[in-house]
């Protein structure tokens, strides 16, 4: 039997739900609960296939969207291929990444996360994902603040009305004014790790940048081998405001927003132009984020990212 012969279908059922546990409004008053699966699933058991139904919540932070799974009992072990399929926008739910909420790994945190890019690869940190994860955790266990273990360290978050503010891990050393030969041209790139590595290119007109082409070339540039880097293009649009577009490693394309990316851009622009904290950021989705930080002689500290975290819908998906 060829499983690929079955095409995904969906069952949509509207229901009104304010998601009071999350302390934030859903993206619409009437949320959609989605159950994804395959036709004639009841017949698959006759062939020895046993399917599991996985509950999930779909959220987005400034357009960066994620699948969140309650794994407090640690009963879900997802393979790389399963994660990639769930994140696939044609064959699955569709998302830039997937997170499992699990018990803490340290005494400093209330929870821990397992974070995966849409290709199924693990990632250390994600700023927009962290805000969604914090709101998801609040929905499971109401609190004024949340802390959780990540591969980048312990992340702390607090809730400011319908927005979430996360304390990012301390940024790594900045490398300024790197001259890279890209597609036969010399490009000035600045680099900093804000939980994951980021390259930043300042441009005069963001709308004219070929983010897919140039972003891919820099992402795989030999100077960032072997793991590569995320790539951000930033334009200063006001004394305290910037606009950013990001090519994300692991997604391998442009996303509507990247929290650690806009944070990297804010620090680079503060270094280049003396822009003060906080810095307002406009992202491709049209949403606005805020990056704040403290300036010291040796660099930057207390890096914080504030913005929305919105529930889109909840549902269940059947895994084979």
**pLDDT tens-digit readout, 287-305:** 999 999 999 888 899 999 9
* Tokens representing residue 160 in the block: 């400011």
pLDDT in tens, the chain (320 residues): 222 222 333 333 333 343 455 554 444 433 444 445 544 444 444 555 557 899 999 999 999 999 999 999 999 999 999 999 999 999 999 999 999 999 999 999 999 999 999 999 999 999 999 999 999 999 999 999 999 999 999 999 999 999 999 999 999 999 999 999 999 999 999 999 999 999 999 999 999 999 999 999 999 999 999 999 999 999 999 999 999 999 999 999 999 999 999 999 999 999 999 999 999 999 999 999 999 999 988 889 999 999 999 999 999 999 87
Q: For the segment 16-56, what is each residue's pLDDT rounded down to a tens digit?
A: 343 455 554 444 433 444 445 544 444 444 555 557 899 99
Residue 55 CA: distances (Å) to CA of 52, 84, 86, 300: 10, 17, 12, 40
Residue-wise burial string across 68-97, b where 16 or more C-beta atoms lie within 10 A, e elsewhere: bbbbeeeebebeeebbbbbbeeeebbebbb
CATH 3.10.310.10: which residues of the chain?
3-164+309-319, 175-307
The fold for domain 175-307 equals Diaminopimelate Epimerase; Chain A, domain 1 (3.10.310)
Active site residue 31: no
Architecture of domain 3-164+309-319: Roll (3.10)
Q: Could you say which of 87, 132, 165, 258 is catalytic?
A: 258
Q: Could you say which of 31, 126, 132, 265 is catalytic?
A: 126
Active site residue 126: yes
Instruction: For CA atoms 148, 172, 166, 227, give the dihedral sign.
Output: negative
């Amino acid at each position: 039997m060829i499983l690929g012969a079955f095409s995904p279908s969906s069952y949509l059922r509207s229901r009104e739900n304010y998601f009071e546990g999350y302390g934030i409004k859903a993206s619409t008053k009437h949320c959609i609960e989605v159950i994804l699966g395959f036709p004639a699933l009841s017949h698959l058991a006759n062939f020895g296939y046993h399917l599991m139904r996985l509950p999930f919540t779909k959220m987005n932070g400034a357009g960066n969207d994620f699948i969140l799974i309650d794994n407090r009992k640690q009963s879900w072990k997802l393979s790389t291929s399963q994660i990639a399929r769930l994140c696939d926008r044609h064959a699955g739910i569709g998302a830039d990444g997937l997170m499992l909420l699990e018990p803490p790994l340290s005494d400093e945190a209330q929870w821990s996360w397992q974070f995966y890019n849409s290709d199924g690869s693990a990632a250390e940190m994600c700023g927009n994902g962290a805000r969604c994860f914090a709101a998801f955790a609040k929905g499971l266990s109401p609190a004024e603040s949340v802390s959780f273990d990540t591969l980048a360290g312990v992340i702390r978050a607090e809730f400011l009305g319908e927005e979430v503010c996360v304390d990012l891990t301390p940024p790594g050393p900045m490398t300024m004014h790197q001259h890279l030969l890209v597609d036969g041209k010399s490009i000035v790139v600045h680099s900093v790790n804000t939980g994951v590595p980021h390259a930043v290119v300042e441009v005069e007109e963001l709308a004219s940048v070929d983010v897919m082409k140039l972003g891919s070339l820099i992402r795989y540039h030999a100077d960032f081998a072997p793991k590569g880097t995320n790539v951000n293009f930033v334009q200063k649009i006001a004394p305290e405001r910037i606009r950013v577009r990001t090519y994300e490693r692991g997604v391998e394309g442009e996303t509507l927003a990247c929290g650690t990316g806009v944070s990297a851009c804010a620090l680079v622009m503060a270094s280049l132009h003396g822009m003060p904290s906080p810095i307002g950021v406009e992202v491709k989705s049209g949403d606005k984020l805020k990056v704040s930080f403290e300036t010291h002689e040796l660099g930057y500290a207390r890096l914080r990212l504030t913005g929305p975290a919105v529930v889109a819908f909840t549902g269940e998906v059947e895994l084979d």
